[in-house]
Amino acid sequence: MMPLIQNLLAEAGCADHPQVAEAVEQACYDQTSFIEAVLECEGVRERDFLMAVAHTLSLPWWEGSADKPVEQSLRRHLPAEIALRHRILPVRFEEADPESNDLNAGPFLHLATFDPLNLVTHQRVASSVPHTIIWHVGQRTRIAEGLQKLYGLGADTFEKILRGRADWGSEELGDEVTVLDAPEDEEASVVRFVNQILRRGLEQRATDIHVEPQQDRLRIRYRIDGRLEELAVPENIKSLQSSVIARLKIMARLDIAEKRLPQDGRINLELDGLPIDVRVATIPSVEGESISLRLLAQQAVTIDRLGMTDNVRPIVDELLKLPNGIILITGPTGSGKSTTLYAYLTELNQAHRRIVTIEDPVEYKMPGIVQIAVKPEIGLTFATGLRSILRGDPNVVMIGEMRDLETTEIAIRAALTGHLVLSTLHTNDAIGGITRLVDMGVEPFLVSSAVRAFFAQRLVRKLCPLCKLPAEVEDDYLQSINFPQGLPGRIMRANGCEACRGSGYQGRLSIYEVVLVTHALQHLVNTRAHPAELHKQAMQDGFIPMRGYGFQKVLSGDTTIEEVLSVTAMDRKADDVVPARAVTVPLKHAA
């Protein structure tokens, strides 16, 4: 082993590491980077090892920061292709001293790398950059974050396209690319650039991707854990706007010549062997077509994954054992209603049951279940499809949404004639489901006799398990929001780490409220009682408002008070509920 390598390993405390010696020898034999080989060894602390490398080579250490803004002017000093291929980041540029005659007086370009011994990188930079280079050593993750912010996603591909190296013919754009992690051609193309956008969104657990033409740029945003985050893209991406949009429309089998009307389509993708269904919707705008992509991983959704509390899960189990009746899930768009329905169907999907669904569109394809997608253009609506379903001897029927009186009345008749019906309804709370059906024109006695339960749900962000910390909240504030006192558990707060991209949250979970249609509630529904009376009776029957359910999740350390308050309403009168927004929770101190 070379003396320099031995000194580096000794300085970093890795000389006696059982895997390091073998990894270094293999890297020397393969003529690959031994620093990268050491970093891949289990148990090696990247920061400590790289700081030791910097100290041994007498190079400055570059700390970097996820919150520090990037100086965009640095991108012109180092081509994106070189920076991204060799993973080196421009961190500072110093102009030459105009009064000095010294040839070594600058200008200086400071570059950060995690592998300062890579001679190929040094040679490539020396041949491409006309400035004096000052090398720094930094962590791989910090450098990767900086490259993303400085150059934007796919900047190396973008530069090649602008240089005309890619084939711009329609034949390439028409190729069907579905496997996002397949080996890519070295030559850049619009196909590759679009794949990078999709792959990045899937890696960051995005549920939606929005491609939005603006007056002077093309904005791309990901919806991650319910929040929109803008993606850093190359500076001149506006020049590729029409090609990117055309590529997405071709993948979705849409008419690329039609730019005046909205269109809907689907894309079938695959990443790491996992099939992913993408719903595509185009909207014509004054600056060009805006495209929204809904990413749906085709994974089995079970009730266990919903994370229901001990007081709700038994209710669900009993409801799913019923031979007939309607179970309605209410909530606004994007509250996870369809996911919950699919979880219920997974539980019911057994050989002795015939399950038929009618949806718009079919979001998850489930084996063993007959699924129908509505097509209004040929007359296949929810109502007409539902009539046909009932003639096909189903045990369980799932209706994507009760949108009109005709569909609702057919569903009620199905429930009264021995079928278990699952569906969704757009209301703000569970009690609102009752008044909504009556307002649609359904007779109250049909509502009370057919519907077994009304669920309402919302999605809240889940605390990152790696960085969440205990928090102490002022007692007066807890009392003002009716937070339960004396129950076991601990209030936690978001902190932020690399795993959650500094947000303090990772993933989302559902919070619920359930109104069971009891005999007492049936009587009030039949007499067209005021929603406040319905709410009062539901409370007497054991109803737990959604905010109370959310507070249980707070005490279990799954989410924060801020998240629960942002999507729920105070437990006041049923006709006087106001959602809380821009919540600030006063802390005593943070441990």
Domain ranges of the chain: 3-157, 172-297, 303-582
pLDDT tens, position by position, 216-265 = 889 999 999 888 988 888 777 888 888 899 999 999 999 998 999 999 99
Flag whether pLDDT at 104 surpasses 70.
no
The CATH number of the structural domain formed by 172-297 is 3.30.450.90
pLDDT tens, position by position, 365-400 = 888 999 999 888 888 988 899 999 998 889 999 999
Flag whether pLDDT at 128 surpasses 90.
no
pLDDT at 161: 58
pLDDT at 99: 60
pLDDT tens, position by position, 543-562 = 989 999 999 999 999 999 99
Query: Could you give the strand order of the β-sheet that contains 420-425, starting from the edge strand earlier in sequence?
Result: 370-373, 355-359, 396-399, 420-425, 325-330, 451-463, 505-516
Mean pLDDT of 88-106: 72
pLDDT at 423: 95
DSSP tally for the chain: helices H, then strands E: 22, 19
- 3 state SS for 209-262: EEEEECCCCEEEEEEECCEEEECCCCCCHHHHHHHHHHHHHHHCCCCCCCCCCC
Contact status, residue 278 vs residue 294, Cβ threshold 8 Å = yes
pLDDT at 363: 83
Flag whether pLDDT at 146 surpasses 60.
yes
Flag whether pLDDT at 188 surpasses 70.
no
Q: What is the dihedral of CA 362, 363, 369, 374, to 10 degrees?
A: -10
Of 88-97, 333-342, 459-468, minimum mean pLDDT range: 88-97
pLDDT at 181: 60
Whole-number mean pLDDT of the chain?
83
pLDDT tens, position by position, 519-528 = 999 999 999 9
Task: Please list the alpha-helical segments (H only) found in 31-187.
Answer: 34-39, 46-56, 80-86, 119-128, 140-151, 155-162, 170-173
**pTM for the full model?**
0.72
Q: Of 68-82, 115-129, 295-309, where does the model show the most confidence?
A: 115-129
**Strand-pair partners of 94:** 108
pLDDT tens, position by position, 203-219 = 888 999 999 999 888 99
Nearest to 534 by CA among 445, 405, 430, 426: 430
pLDDT at 173: 37
pLDDT at 12: 67
Strands 451-463 and 469-473: unpaired
Contact status, residue 9 vs residue 20, Cβ threshold 8 Å = yes
Q: In what helix (H) or strand (E) does residue 275 lie, and over which residues does it extend? A: strand 274-285
Q: In what helix (H) or strand (E) does residue 386 lie, and over which residues does it extend? A: helix 382-390
Tokens read off for 71: 């100086």
Nearest to 110 by CA among 153, 143, 152: 143
Q: Yes or no: is domain 3-157 CATH 3.55.50.30?
A: no
Percent of the chain residues past pLDDT 90, beyond the cut: 36
pLDDT tens, position by position, 113-122 = 988 888 888 8
Burial 340-361, CB ≥16 within 10 A → b, else e: bbbbbbbebbeeeeebbbbbbe
User: 303-582, what's its fold?
Assistant: Rossmann fold (3.40.50)
Mean pLDDT of 18-38: 74
Q: Which amino acid is at 351?
A: A
